[in-house]
């Protein structure tokens, strides 16, 4: 593997090992990743200074409160219609005579922030809308702490063309784990990446048993508290499929050397098997502040970023093979990852539409992956990865969303018949 190009994420190659306090821009500040990153920054003011925040616009009161706590210079919202409410909320948070943050608004606001002056951009946006900010941050030469896996998955060739070696630090718990374990050896030493999965709320169920599960069942994740879309992706194991593609792109490891194993306790976040037979596992109690701290602080570690294990208490850690019949998502993801081009974008967009239909009660649980698979098959040969453009990705996503809605509506009608 030594003659292959440097991977996007490499613990041995830090894009910018700047010492001292780092200026951080947080995209998706009112979401789960964003709020935990802000907690980390507030507890470590000597390490991090947050200069700007972006959010979709659905929680302007929280965004205004964050802006005051951090004394940021700029805030951005994707929804222009919430600007009056945001101005009012900021005025209520800041004292008389205090300078309010500059407000950016519109669909390109987060992208503009991603290119602003800072050391690190944390992309915590959910969905493929995070692609443009990812590209903007890389183009501007920022270190990218990447929690928005979709931008890498749907725009892999575009990201790889822009990113310098070591410029991306992964924030997903699984990829932060692989990142740390890979520090123990070289790529030539790696035999296999092992991505762990909690198994979601339906671990151990057969496909037949999954046919009748409800939205409430799917949202009852046994380990993590996440948004509804990510939680359903965990229930279908689409999230693991996306993470397999992400691991391939981040670390330049072939798909046949990336394995998924079910680990219900979610203590081991992923593992690297080396050629001498050694396996290194990264383990912490489930808490995203640890991976966020890696993304913002590497190669330095942030003391007490997250809780550690209490080794005076007994615990049992289990590992099980993946049931590919009940959970075909990982196999489909491997297929589209191998195709490359626009195929991953089609997979991701079709899944987002089907999850929305499931959450609205219009589509049975097992029909999510059946529909996604049908859309992927119909898409056929993707746009060549070597000539991929942002417009290609957008057009493929639009087609996939429309086709998934049509197929989901038909599947729903057949289920009612």
Integer Cα distance of 342 and 389 in angstroms: 9
CA atoms within 13 A on the CB side of 353: 24
Task: Determine the structural domain holding residue 336 and report its residue range.
Answer: 189-285+319-416
Q: Respond yes or no on whether the N-terminal peptide bond of residue 238 is cis (omega within 30° of 0).
A: no
- Report d(CA 347, CA 404) in Å as an integer: 10
Query: Binding-site residues for NADPH, please?
Result: 30-33, 56, 148, 150, 227
Is position 408 within any domain? yes
Copy the structure tokens of residue 162. 């822009």
Domain membership of residue 203 (yes or no) is yes
For 224-238, letters b (16+ CB in 10 Å) and e give bebeebbbbbbbbbb
In sequence order, the 6+-apart residues with CB closer than 8 A to the CB of 380 are none
pLDDT 10s digit of each residue in the chain, 417 long?
A: 344 567 899 998 877 766 689 999 999 999 999 999 999 999 999 999 999 999 999 999 999 999 999 999 999 999 999 999 999 999 999 988 899 999 999 999 999 999 999 999 999 998 889 999 999 999 999 999 999 999 999 999 999 999 999 999 999 999 999 999 999 999 899 999 999 999 888 999 999 999 889 999 898 877 766 778 888 998 999 999 999 999 999 999 999 999 999 999 999 999 999 999 999 999 999 999 999 999 999 999 999 999 999 999 999 999 999 999 999 999 999 999 999 999 999 999 999 999 999 999 999 999 999 999 999 999 986 665 557 888 999 999 999 999 999 998 988 777 776
**Of 86, 43, 44, nearest in space to 67 by CA:** 86
Which contacts qualify for 386-390: CB closer than 8 Å, 24 or more apart? 386/157, 388/155, 388/157, 388/158, 388/341, 388/342, 389/158, 390/131, 390/132, 390/135, 390/155, 390/158
Q: Which DSSP string do the residues of 82-118 spell out, in sequence order?
A: GHHHHHHHHHHHSPTTPPPPEEEESTTHHHHHHTSS-
For residue 267, being part of any structural domain is answered with yes
Q: Tell me if 200 sits within 8 A of 237, measured CB to CB.
A: yes
Total domains in the chain come to: 1
* Binding-site entries for 1-deoxy-D-xylulose 5-phosphate: 149, 173-174, 198, 221, 234, 239-240, 243
DSSP strand pairing (190-197 vs 268-274): antiparallel
48 within a domain of the structure (yes/no): no
Is 263 within a domain? yes
pTM of the complete model: 0.92
Other Cβ atoms less than 10 A from the Cβ of 24: the count is 28
Which residues sit in the known binding site for Mn(2+)? 172, 174, 243
- Residue 388 is assigned to a structural domain of this protein: yes
Residue 255 lies in a domain: yes
Does the residue 327 lie in any domain? Answer: yes
Binding-site members are 30-33, 56, 148-150, 172-174, 198, 221, 227, 234, 239-240, 243
CATH code assigned at 214: 1.10.1740.10
């Amino acid at each position: 593997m030594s003659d292959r190009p440097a991977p996007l994420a490499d613990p041995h190659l830090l894009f910018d090992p700047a010492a001292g306090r780092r200026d951080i821009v947080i995209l998706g500040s009112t979401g789960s990743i964003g709020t935990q990153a802000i907690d980390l920054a507030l507890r470590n003011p000597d390490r991090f200074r947050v200069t700007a925040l972006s959010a979709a616009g659905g929680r302007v009161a929280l965004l205004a409160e964050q802006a005051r706590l951090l004394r940021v210079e700029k805030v951005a919202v994707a929804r222009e219609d919430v600007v009056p409410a945001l101005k009012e909320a900021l005025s209520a948070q800041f004292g008389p005579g205090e300078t309010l943050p500059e407000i950016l608004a519109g669909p390109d606001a987060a992208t503009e922030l991603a290119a602003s002056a800072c050391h690190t951009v944390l992309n915590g946006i959910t969905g493929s809308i995070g692609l443009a900010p990812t590209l903007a941050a890389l183009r501007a030469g920022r270190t990218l702490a990447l929690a928005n896996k979709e931008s890498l998955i749907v725009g892999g060739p575009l990201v790889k063309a822009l990113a310098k070696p070591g410029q991306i630090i992964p924030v997903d718990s699984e990829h932060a784990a692989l990142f740390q374990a890979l520090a123990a050896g070289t790529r030539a030493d790696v035999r296999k990446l092992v991505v762990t999965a909690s198994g979601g709320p339906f671990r151990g169920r057969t496909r037949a048993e999954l046919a009748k599960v409800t939205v409430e069942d799917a949202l009852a994740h046994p380990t993590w508290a996440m948004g509804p879309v990510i939680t359903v992706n965990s229930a279908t194991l689409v999230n693991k499929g996306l993470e397999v593609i992400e691991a391939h792109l981040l670390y330049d490891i072939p798909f046949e050397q990336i394995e998924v194993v079910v680990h219900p306790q979610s203590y081991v976040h992923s593992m690297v098997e080396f050629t001498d037979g050694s396996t290194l596992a990264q383990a912490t109690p489930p808490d995203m502040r640890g991976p966020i701290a890696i993304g913002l602080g590497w190669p330095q570690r942030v003391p007490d970023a997250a809780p550690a294990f209490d080794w005076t208490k007994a615990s049992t850690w289990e590992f099980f093979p993946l049931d590919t019949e009940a959970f075909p998502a990982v196999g489909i993801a491997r297929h589209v990852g191998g195709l490359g081009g626009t195929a991953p974008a089609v997979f991701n967009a079709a899944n987002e539409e089907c999850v929305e239909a499931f959450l609205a009660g219009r589509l049975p649980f097992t029909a999510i992956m059946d529909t996604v698979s049908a859309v992927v098959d119909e898409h056929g040969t993707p746009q060549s990865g070597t000539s991929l453009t942002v417009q290609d990705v957008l057009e493929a996503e639009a087609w996939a969303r429309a086709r998934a809605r049509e197929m989901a509506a038909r599947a729903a009608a057949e289920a009612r018949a």
